Structure 1
Amino acid sequence: MFDGIRKRVVCMWFPRLASDRVLRARPVDGPFAITLKSNNTERLYCLNETAERLGLTRGMSFADARAFCPDLISQPARPDLDARFLATLRRWATRYCPWVGRDGVDGLVLDVTGSTHLWGGESEMLADIQSRAIGAGLTLRIGCAATRGAAWAFAHYGSGAEALTDLPVAALRLQEATVTALQRLGLRTIGDLSSAARASLARRFGPDLLLRFDQAMGQVPEPVMPETEPPHFATRISLPEPIGLTGDVMGITARLLALLCDKLNRYEMGARRLTLTLRRVDQGSAVVELRLAAAMRDPQRILPLFERGVGEVDAGFGIDQIRLEATGVEPLPVQQIGNHHRSPDQLNDLITRIGTRIGLENIQRFLPADSHIPERSFTIAPAAFSAPDSAWSCMRPRPLRLFPPEPIAGQGSEPPKHFRWRRMSLTTGRAIGPERIAPEWWLPDETWRSGVRDYWRIETREGRRLWLFHTPQNPGWFVQGEFA
């Protein structure tokens, strides 16, 4: 670095990040709070300015806040959306300098060394940042200093302070217990701390206190580490002459797909959703979206799946640009395939082909569920978005076909010797049971209100293998399933 360039770091703190994110989309006139459940208690997580003026504070229980302020409007916290919003702000902040990193869950840190002159000076740049934040409906506090620690201190505690030594010791990013102990010793400001004996402070509070102090004073470097941009899986080509034949479009798509899959392979990722955009010479566009049943990066398997969508495209006066993007990706690490490996690729390809016609959500599979009730021993999930689970763990066999209970004539607790079912006269040849199944009392189910059921496996002389049950509380016999 040149001697004439001073080190300058900017800290951007968004104290109301969570509430500002929500209120930007849905403004509220009055007190508003974001709540977060902690230790089985709903507490205030973030407030708008109106709620703070009314005396509400972070950490207050939501019940007390509603009693104190009945007009309070609330919404549950979404830390995942807050993190995504902060990532968007980080990308926006790169307009001021390329070295932008996150600072906790509600702040950004920028190394603006050598960049302030592009905005007419440091004060002009800070004013531009503040004005744009206000225009976007964001509460922002900015600190600028020669070190990251000092910039953080001015952003969080520097209202009206001109010197770092005038700020409280909490501005050194210390733990609350350490701050309380320093205040009890009479060390309330950073200036008080600088005049104290370093050896005594190290023995009493450990090395973290002196490290934070030296970082703020610039005696220990603390670099700003910018976040790397996530890889963008997209490729495109502009054509010198428009094309319109399906074969030509598929040929260009094959070239783009090979480049895209090569990049996916380098990052060990697989595509789950692909978007092929065909721009026509009249500036219109046709979009072909492909949703895959499993993550893939094999161009030979993916390319034929585009044929149906490309064949339905209206090329108009010709297509002069083609863009292929993987809009949905998943990790797909390299796996070693042995002689006994059974690849599910053919099944996934079949699901994808059918899914392009009727929708992936309409292709479903059965998955085991943790319940001994026959009707609840399985769930139905889309095959493309769920993995096949292990076989049902059941101590006794279950019928292949299961249907609602159908009453039959019978008396007593033993299976009837002769009975009629679905207009067929059947004779019991062998009966295995009973297996008593009790209802799950913690779940409401009208069909099991009668109490326990005693299930029997019945092999009839006519060849039918049925699953019967008897209800002791309200005596009756029913057929509920049939074995293969």
Structure 2
Amino acid sequence: MRWLALCSTPDAPAGDIDALAWLALSFTPRVARLEEAVVAEMSASLRLFRGARALRLRLRAEAELAGLALGTMAWAPTALAALALARCPGTPQPDRLCEKLDALPLQALTAAHAHHAMLARLGCQRLGELRRLPRAAIARRFGPALLTALDQAYGGLPEVHDWLTLPDRFDARLELPWRVEHAPVLLHFAEQLLRQLCAFLTARHAGVRTLRLAWQHDAMRARDVANSGELTLATADTTRDLCRLTRLLGEHLSRTTLAAPAGEISLSADTILPLQELSAGLLPGAGEPQERTTTNALLERLSARLDPDHVLEGRLHEDHRLDRMQSWHPWPADACAPVRRPPGPQPTWLIEPPQPLRCDAREQPTYCGPLSRISGPHRIEAGWWERHGLQTRDYYVYRSAARGLLWVYRERLPDAAAASSGWFLHGTFA
């Protein structure tokens, strides 16, 4: 067997060790909690990840992406030996397991902690010196637990572990160390829950599109204040990017006001969606998915900062009238059924209401100077089924030396022609 022990850094939050266990489950199904560390049996995964060194580097990289403070790691044939070696990273380690463990101090084995003072008076400072003492005398004076731990560490007795499994849904809570009165301060504590979420999603090979952050108000609140509040986050695509989720949550919390001080927060993700893993490539266009994800992250922050109604997305619709074939909705808009492509070029921006244009001597439209025709006419005669919706127009694309491409139409109704030149500017192209 090849056991790998994972320890967090001393200053890591308490919840990070659970997140490390979930992260290890993405490498092997045989993961267990052992005292302050996580142990994982990696024999079946070494070939898949191209050896112990490559697996260790991959695990450290995944922990860094999830924002976890991964400390020391150590390999050994037994779980207790791996934990003991991880606790003493600076100790010189020979090739054989017995020699490695013999050189470790007594603090490397938890079962020896309670008897450290007595063992020190006996002259035992290292595990090798303890192992050379008479076994019967050790059992009588210190109990059988110390010998059992020694034998399990050295491989003389089998170890028994409770294997960890992933829950079906993510729901984590955190009690705050003090009463928080301002919503942006909650981000500091919510980051711990987000790290656990990203590790959970990595083990699931999945992502999320919706998160819910809830907080419990302090008991000393006003009578007219509810006992809790919540905030829902939505992303444009499926993701488990810790930095992206943290920035998005920070934007929402900066616009949130707590009705009363909060004493506890919780983060939940009810819907877990599969996340397609993209392979790296050297061919042109390999960075397009990453560019799209970066654009979505920027739009999410703008939508949270400016208000959803100020970040719009254009959508096409089925209609014979060209100006009715597109509309703008808050981003991200709901998915819609495929529609036919417009018969002609559609402008980036519509001008509502259309702006009347003057004509020159040849009865051609002018706008900041003469215009040159690019395409047209495209004749429209539709909308008779709506009141005041009939359109009889000829659409053109003109080029202006000062304003670029313009979307222009000529009204063919006699009353409109009598009131004006009949030419109107209806849109511009970016």
Instruction: Give the TM-score normalised by the residue count of structure 2.
Output: 0.45
Greater relative contact order structure (CA < 8 Å, 6+ sep)? 2
TM-score (norm 1): 0.41
